[in-house]
Each structure stands twice: as structure tokens, then as C-alpha cells.
Amino acid sequence: MSYDPKMLCTTQKQALLVIDMQNDFVADGGAFDQAGFDVARYQALEPVIYEMIDNARQSKIPVVFITMEHNEENDGEAAWKQRRVARNHPNSCRAGTWGVQPYGRLIPQENEKRFQKHRYSAFVNDNLEIYLNELQIETLVLTGINTNVCVESTARAAHEKDFHVVLVEGATTCAYEDVYQASIKNFARHFGAITTSEKWIGYVTDFYLEKS
């Protein structure tokens, strides 16, 4: 078979994943903004991802929202917490706070699922895989942040669980510019296929027009 993104998004049943587009990561005044990160690069993704969400909804493609959420119980006391404390990682996405909420217009509708995670990969929440299998999803289309951390960790896990994975370049970015292209290349070599939001919308529009 030809392993190209158009084929993966038209001949396989797909779902659109929106990863970690939350106030503490993206918004002015959020934890990452307060820590000095350039959140403008994250904010620039919002209209791109929103347009993809809108097209997915019109085409009846499931949209799945993945959000980070930390509390004392899932922090634990071992390596995860120790590294974050030692590296002075922003205390982001605490349960019950404004920071954990979806950013801007990237809000699930009543019929859409939101899965919480407390580590990098979305598949740390077993309910995500159960839900995708119930829908007989074969291809995951990934958007959100950070390309080299939560997005790539989710892609690795998805590929190992036998999902096809398509990463949407331009609908994802990194806190550190030097690792973005490296992550894109690593993804393309090992985990899936790369497309752009414009091309993906074209695939979806053409395919579902033909079906209607």
C-alpha cells in the first residue's frame, strides 16, 4: 500500500486529536507565559486547529480533545515529580484551575470526548484507546503541543498500538525552536506521515463531497 497522508485520511476511518491546547500552556497569563516562554507561537496554532475542527465536525469526523491535568495523587513522589521540581518546571494544569481549561475556541462540544492525562502520552489514559476502538478508528490526525514531547509521545504510543498516525505540520509547535524540525523528521521516519492543515482540509472536503 502507498503510505501517504491522503490515503490514510480517506481510505481509513480517522479521528482528529487536539493535544494540550490549554490556558496554562497557551494563554497570556498562563503558567508558561509567566515562566517566560514565548506563548505567541502556541497562540498562532489556535485559528489553524479551529478551522480543522470545524471541517471535521462538518464531515462527521470525531474530534477528540486531550488535556493535561495534574494533582497531588498523580504527581507521585518519584522520578516524574523529582525531575520537574529540579528543573523548575512551571506548575501548570493543576486540577480545578483556570489553567487546565481549553484555550480559546478549542472547546469540546457536548457530543465530543475530552480525555485527561497526567503524563506526556495521551495513551496513559486507557479510556482513550477503548473509545477509539469502539469507533473503529484506524488513523489518528495529531495537532497541538508540544511537537517533541506530548505530541510525539502520543504518536509513538499510537503507532505501537497499530494506529496509523498523521501529523499536521503547522498545527503543532514546540517551546524550543531547535527541536521542532528534528521532531518532524523523527516522526516522518519512524511513526507516520506528515501533511499540512490546508492539504488535510482538502482531503476531507473532496472525499466527503464524493460520498455525499
Question: What span, in angstroms and rounded, lies between the C-alpha atoms of 3 and 76?
Answer: 41
Task: Specify the pLDDT at position 211.
Answer: 66
pLDDT of 1 strictly over 60 = no
* DSSP 8-state code for residue 70: B
b/e 51-68 (16+ beta carbons within 10 angstroms → b): ebbebbeebebbbbbbbb
If pLDDT is split at 50, 70 and 90, which confidence band does 74 have?
A: confident
Q: Is residue 14 part of a domain?
A: yes
Q: Is residue 26 part of a domain?
A: yes
The boundaries of the domain holding residue 118 are 5-68+101-211
Question: What span, in angstroms and rounded, lies between the C-alpha atoms of 201 and 197?
Answer: 6
Task: Specify the pLDDT at position 172.
Answer: 98
* DSSP 8-state code for residue 170: E
Task: Specify the pLDDT at position 84.
Answer: 83
Task: Specify the pLDDT at position 65.
Answer: 98
Q: Using an 8 Å Cβ cutoff, are 33 and 17 in contact? A: no
Q: Is residue 106 part of a domain?
A: yes
Task: Specify the pLDDT at position 101.
Answer: 97
Number of domains in the chain: 1
Q: Using an 8 Å Cβ cutoff, are 168 and 197 in contact? A: yes
If pLDDT is split at 50, 70 and 90, which confidence band does 90 have?
A: confident
pLDDT tens track for 23-42: 999 999 999 999 999 999 99
Task: Specify the pLDDT at position 2.
Answer: 63
Calculate mean pLDDT across residues 14-18.
Answer: 98
pLDDT of 53 strictly over 70 = yes
Calculate mean pLDDT across residues 116-138.
Answer: 97
Q: Is residue 162 part of a domain?
A: yes
- How far lies 156's CA from each of 108, 152, 165, 189, 206, in Å? 25, 6, 9, 12, 29
Q: Is residue 94 part of a domain?
A: no
Task: Specify the pLDDT at position 209.
Answer: 67
Mean pLDDT of the chain: 94
Question: What span, in angstroms and rounded, lies between the C-alpha atoms of 112 and 126?
Answer: 17
Calculate mean pLDDT across residues 122-143.
Answer: 98
Q: Is residue 198 part of a domain?
A: yes
Backbone angles phi, psi at 174, to 5 degrees: -125, 160
What is the total residue count of the chain?
212
Reduce the DSSP state of residue 31 to 3 states and report it.
Answer: helix
Question: What span, in angstroms and rounded, lies between the C-alpha atoms of 184 and 148?
Answer: 8
- What's 32's domain CATH number? 3.40.50.850
Calculate mean pLDDT across residues 174-201.
Answer: 95
Q: Is residue 36 part of a domain?
A: yes
Q: Is residue 46 part of a domain?
A: yes
